Every structure is written in C-alpha cells, then in structure tokens.
Structure 1
C-alpha cells in the first residue's frame, strides 16, 4: 500500500492558485482530503511563503529561485546546478519517502522525464489534464486523466500505458452552504435583464471572441441582455503579442455597459458569481479535455450551453443535463443557439438535472476516493 505521496507540478503557479488553474486546484483539493500523508511541491510565486501546513496529513512546500540564481544559472550559463526537479526530490527525501511512496507529476511530461532521470527507481504517476503529444514517457506509464476523451487520446498513442479516469470536482460544502452571492444589482444590471456568463482564459482556444461577436448580434435586437465575462482580459498572449485580447477589449468597449468585464476572480470565490447567470456559455474551439467551469456552473444550478469538442459531452448531455452548441460554430450559430436555449421550456429542468448529476458524480470527496482506489489498485 502507498504510504506517502509527493504531488508536484510544472513551475508556473503556486498552490493554492490565485486565479484559474485547474491543475493546481485539483492537487490542492485532493491532497488535503486524502488519508495518505503527502506533500504538495510547487513554485514559489510572489507573496507566498516557503511552507504552509494544511492539516495533519498535508503541507505545501514552495520552491523559490533568487533573481541572482535565475540570471546566472538559468539564463546566462544554463548550468542550473540545483534544478527544480532535484529540489522536489530533496523535499521528498526530507519527507522520508520509502519504496512504497509515489510521486504524482501533474501535466508535465518534461518534469516527469527529469524526475525519472534523477530517480530511476522511484514510483511515478503522471496526471495529464491536457492532450499533448507524449514525449519521453515510459511505454507502460501509469497515467491519470479527467475524462474518457483524454483516456482514449493517450491510449491510442501509448497502447501499453495503464490509464485511469479520475475526474475533477467541486466543493459541495461551498455550494450547499449559506453564502452571499454577487447579485445583478451589484453590477448595475436590471433584475429583468438576461445575463449570459463566460468564465475562462481570454485566448483563442476558449472561443470568447466568437461569443462576443455573437453577443454583438444579439445586443442589436435585444435590449434586455448583458454579457458578463470573468477572465484576465489584460493578459498578453505571446503567440500574437496580445492582439486577441485587444480585439476582445475593443468589442467590450463598443458594447459599453452591455458587456461587463470582471477580470480574474479567485477560484475560491467563483461560486459567488455563477448566480448572476441566466445561461453559462462555453464555446471552446479546441478539444476541451474536461472544463471546470462547466461543472462549477452546473453545481450552482445554472443551465450550460457548451461546445461538443472534447470531453464536456460526457457530463453535459444534450437535453439531459445541459445544451450543446452546433457545429460548425460561428457567431451566427452561437447567437441562434443562445436564443433557442433561453427560450427552451426545459431550461430550468435541465439546470436542476445538471446540478443533481454534478452533486452525485463530482464532489471532491468522491474524486479523492476514486484517486485513492486507483493508487491502491496500482500499488497494493
């Protein structure tokens, strides 16, 4: 049986994350609930401490690199005598891991390879949240993924891999307890207005620009509609030097008060914002492996209209737990789908069915139990 776990991730976001970061959120939620003693190891961003105790079984260890170290060893000489991967293993050693301990690497094949190279006998599991071309993974790698879609993707490329599905989740205690939601009035929206809601990164893959173009069409004919957007619209995408985000901001400016850009919202506060929505729209333009926003919105009892690309259709089932956007997606088709969904006599029933489905299948307690079952089956 597994006696200890090291959860670690590529050095981008600290844990707990301050913005949308599904990978780090999964780690934090599962690590604090599992009965197996563990350490969360991540990068140290500004404003975080080196160490945070979570509970008797769990603590967070953050790896910091000084500016001098980064300049000399990572940028100039590229020698990096004490790299991130080795520091993870040093923390694991201080944790007194044994032959029955495992390292779970999240969403980074590069980090998996680096740890495997430095600790060839170590038991390692990789948890992939995205569909990437597998590079340098063991042919019989043990892999966790959040959806059947992603399992099939990797199984096709790695036929000998042992791949198990462990979903993402929501904190039912937060959704089912009393809390003060953000109201339409708080944002200057009339109670009679219909609110379309989007949450996610402001990048082409997520389809926000297409949604805004669709909303522009709707806004010309419907005075009682607003679009609320959660996401960092000031982000600069390196691929196009921020051109996509600038176009999003330009449309928002043209729409004036009809489009409300809220910027980033901390993950632990998102449940307060979903009650604003009359419809949550997720127009993903890529093969979305899972989508946390979808189950969060469903958990809040809100109807969802989603892309059929990727894994969302596994839980957003057409006319059962939600609604689907038609292909090929265009601004015109999205506008039409929004109107037909808002006018559907089944919209409230779908929202209730979606909420019931999420409560039964995507609690963090249930996700954690599934994770433990998988780990204990692999390493009994």
Structure 2
C-alpha cells in the first residue's frame, strides 16, 4: 500500500485560514480545498496568524500558523531599521511583515518536509520554498491573468524547471504557459473559485429583497444595479456613475448599491475616491447607496436586492468572487470583455459583455435594454443560477483538484 501523501497548501496572502469575517476569497478557497483528506492524501494549511483565531474553534493540526513569536518580533524590529533597497536585494520584496511571514514559512517547510507544497499567489514565496526544500513536489497556484507580464521570462523558466505542476483560476495562463514553453509537460489544471450554495443560492428570497430594499428607502419597482469591491479607477466606477447620470437625464432612474470601503483597501486611491463622492453629491446623490464593507455572511442580503450586477475592470480580471456570487444568486452581470470574465459570462445568456473603450455608452445601452425586457431578465437570471450549479460549486472544484493531485 502506498503511503499517504502529506500536502501543504501555503497562502502567499497575509490573510489567515480558516477565514474570518474580514477574509477575501482566497482563504475561503484554500479552506474548501483543504477539507478534503483521503486515504491517499492529507492536507495541511499554512497561513499567517490572526488574533481572531483565539475565538475560533478549528483543527489546529490541520491549520498551521506563523505566529508572532519573540524571534519574529525581534526579526521584524531589526528589519524595520534596514533600508528598503537592502531588503529588496536580500529578499526580493520590501514589506517587513511579509519578509517575516515568508521566512517563517520557509523554516516550517524545511522542518516538516511535506511531500507536496502548493503555493498560492506570490511567486517570490514559491521560489523561496522550492529552494528551501527541493525534495518536495512544488506546485504554483497562479491567481490572475497575463502570466508573462506578471511573472517575467526568468520566473517562468524557474517555474518550468522547478515545478511538478501548475494551477490557475482561469484558462488563459495555462494556454499562455503551454505556448511559451512547449516542453512544459507537468500537469496543469484550472481550478476556478467556487461557491458554497448554502451561503448564497439557498438564501435567494423575494422577501429578503423586499426588506433590504425598504431599509434603503427603495421599492420592488426600482431597478437596482450592484457592485462589490474596490473603489478604484481600475474598476471604472466613474464611468458607471456617468452612465447612471446619462440615464437620469433621459428620464430613466436606476439605483446603484456599492458594497466596499476605501478604509479596507491596501492601496487606496484617495483622490479618485474623492472624485467619486463629489460626482455623486453633485449629480445623483439620491440614486447611489454606499453600504460600506459587508462581511461575507451578510452579502446574500445585498445580492438579493439587486436586479443586475456590474464588473467593469479595465486592465485585468481573474476569477472574481463578486461575479460568481452574483450569478449564484440569480443576478446577471454586465462585465468588461477581459480576462476571466470571458470564461464566465456568456453574452446575452447569463449577462452582458461590453468593451473597455466604450464602458459608459455600452452600459447605457445594456441597462436600457434589460429594463425594457423583463422576460429576458428573468431568463438570464435562471441561466446565471444554472451556470453556477453546473460549473462552480465547491463539489465541482474539489473533484477537479483531487484529480490533479493524483497526477503528481
């Protein structure tokens, strides 16, 4: 009988696993994939410690954390006095807490000697762990698009020479890797983000929609657009607001719910945020409703209240949790024709695809169209829900992940 493989899922993100109320999508995905022990494979997760964990009941043998030990505190204090250029030269990155966290992971992997290490997100950590314990089979989980642009030629060569497999949350990086490196013959798989149906789909409720709308002073007759995410220029927020103003001037009143807070963003664009707020105040104050940051447990109320979602990324988009969550609540999404959006949205079926260069104009056209055609909106809603049930549940992605592990 072959021995059980010990597989470490390592988070390059500094969010803790198991996730807490403030966790984004990645910790939730890691938790889903790790709760998957079999006779052939045992999973452990490495992430950064968060003080909220002291109030959580979790498997401490499965979820390992890099904790703020005396050594780590001393190391962090020492690093804070070193020049950024020194930290960049020695470690390849400059954030002090990231250096301490990644060094802690390196020591843990060298000590525990797992059979397989799957590193999520940051390539610098993947390289560090490959070099720290080369006897393990290393897999990099790339969670974006534009592989060569984000990694560079040297890092792609390192990946090919040192990895036993490659995962991505969209198809395009796998296609790009195969094109760039035709000799790359290790296993590759797309593991999309997934939805826990009990968190969203099972909570679809017309009564919940009615109550949430009423709490905002809105009625069942109002047409509501929704967006959850960063309030950044990359997400075309001003173009969206301009479309709402254009519709208003033509006699079509729509409302916009925005779930997000600049205070929670790691690199907030304050000038752009102020521009957003000024535009709303001067032009469409009564139509835009800022909800602030919403924890995952409350998002279903937000989605219930919507007629349609918008995801208007300009430069890149991987596999958006907002997009999947909206669809799982039966809400079609208007999305820009880039990155992972193209793999999820089927134009005119479960949403609309629009061009980046014409965001405002095409938004106006699509919104006017769907407001006038309630039958199409109903059909798109059903298509959205069925698409998620067939393609993006936790069960579907765990099964794909298991099959990938068997190939290593």
TM-score range, shorter chain: 0.7 to 0.9
Instruction: Give yes or no for the alignment of 1:85 onto 2:93.
Output: no
> In structure 2, the residue corresponding to 1:105 is in which secondary structure?
strand
The CA deviation at 1:357 is 1.2
Give yes or no for contact 1:235–1:245 (8 Å, CA) kept in 2.
Answer: no
Aligned length: 373
Q: 1:93 to 1:306 in 2, by over 3 A?
A: same
- Whole-Å Cα distance in 2 between the matches of residues 195 and 51 of structure 1? 37
Give yes or no for contact 2:9–2:45 (8 Å, CA) kept in 1.
Answer: yes
Match of 2:130 in 1: 116
> What pairs with 1:50-89 in structure 2 (closer than 5 Å)?
54-55=58-59, 58-64=62-68, 68-76=74-82, 78=87, 83-89=100-106
- Whole-Å Cα distance in 2 between the matches of residues 121 and 260 of structure 1? 54
Q: 1:276 to 1:62 in 2, by over 3 A?
A: farther
Match of 2:43 in 1: 38
- Whole-Å Cα distance in 2 between the matches of residues 233 and 257 of structure 1? 21
Match of 1:27 in 2: 30
The CA deviation at 1:51 is 9.9
- Whole-Å Cα distance in 1 between the matches of residues 252 and 329 of structure 2? 26
The CA deviation at 1:88 is 1.8
The CA deviation at 1:89 is 4.1
Match of 2:281 in 1: 253
Which moves more between the two structures, 3-12 or 122-131?
3-12
Q: 1:251 to 1:43 in 2, by over 3 A?
A: farther
- Whole-Å Cα distance in 2 between the matches of residues 231 and 285 of structure 1? 18
Give yes or no for contact 2:204–2:304 (8 Å, CA) kept in 1.
Answer: no
Structure with more helix by fraction: 2
Give yes or no for contact 1:147–1:290 (8 Å, CA) kept in 2.
Answer: yes
Match of 1:201 in 2: 230
Match of 1:346 in 2: 376
Give yes or no for contact 1:106–1:126 (8 Å, CA) kept in 2.
Answer: yes
Which moves more between the two structures, 298-307 or 65-74?
65-74
Instruction: Give yes or no for the alignment of 1:367 onto 2:397.
Output: yes
Match of 2:343 in 1: 314
Q: 1:290 to 1:177 in 2, by over 3 A?
A: closer
Q: 1:52 to 1:113 in 2, by over 3 A?
A: farther
Which moves more between the two structures, 65-74 or 147-156?
65-74
Q: 1:26 to 1:194 in 2, by over 3 A?
A: same
Instruction: Give yes or no for the alignment of 1:129 onto 2:132.
Output: no
The CA deviation at 1:72 is 1.4
- Whole-Å Cα distance in 2 between the matches of residues 256 and 62 of structure 1? 46
Cα displacement string for residues 270-299 of structure 1 (whole angstroms, at most 9, x for unaligned residues): 223101101111111123222221111111
The CA deviation at 1:57 is 7.6
* Structure 2, unpaired ranges of 5+: none
> What pairs with 1:1-380 in structure 2 (closer than 5 Å)?
3-15=5-17, 16=19, 18-19=21-22, 21-35=24-38, 36-45=41-50, 47-49=51-53, 54-55=58-59, 58-64=62-68, 68-76=74-82, 78=87, 83-92=100-109, 96-98=112-114, 101-131=115-145, 132-134=150-152, 135-136=154-155, 137-140=158-161, 141=163, 142-161=165-184, 162=186, 163-178=188-203, 181=208, 183-222=212-251, 224-234=253-263, 238=267, 242-254=270-282, 255-326=284-355, 328-344=357-373, 345-378=375-408
> In structure 1, the residue corresponding to 2:179 is in which secondary structure?
helix
Give yes or no for contact 1:51–1:62 (8 Å, CA) kept in 2.
Answer: no
- Whole-Å Cα distance in 2 between the matches of residues 353 and 301 of structure 1? 8
> In structure 2, the residue corresponding to 1:6 is in which secondary structure?
strand
- Whole-Å Cα distance in 1 between the matches of residues 135 and 328 of structure 2? 42
The CA deviation at 1:198 is 0.7
The CA deviation at 1:144 is 0.3
* Structure 1, unpaired ranges of 5+: none
- Whole-Å Cα distance in 2 between the matches of residues 176 and 69 of structure 1? 46
Taking structure 1 as the reference length, the TM-score comes to: 0.87
Give yes or no for contact 2:13–2:121 (8 Å, CA) kept in 1.
Answer: no
Q: 1:316 to 1:236 in 2, by over 3 A?
A: closer
- Whole-Å Cα distance in 1 between the matches of residues 302 and 197 of structure 2? 16
> In structure 1, the residue corresponding to 2:275 is in which secondary structure?
helix
Q: 1:48 to 1:19 in 2, by over 3 A?
A: closer
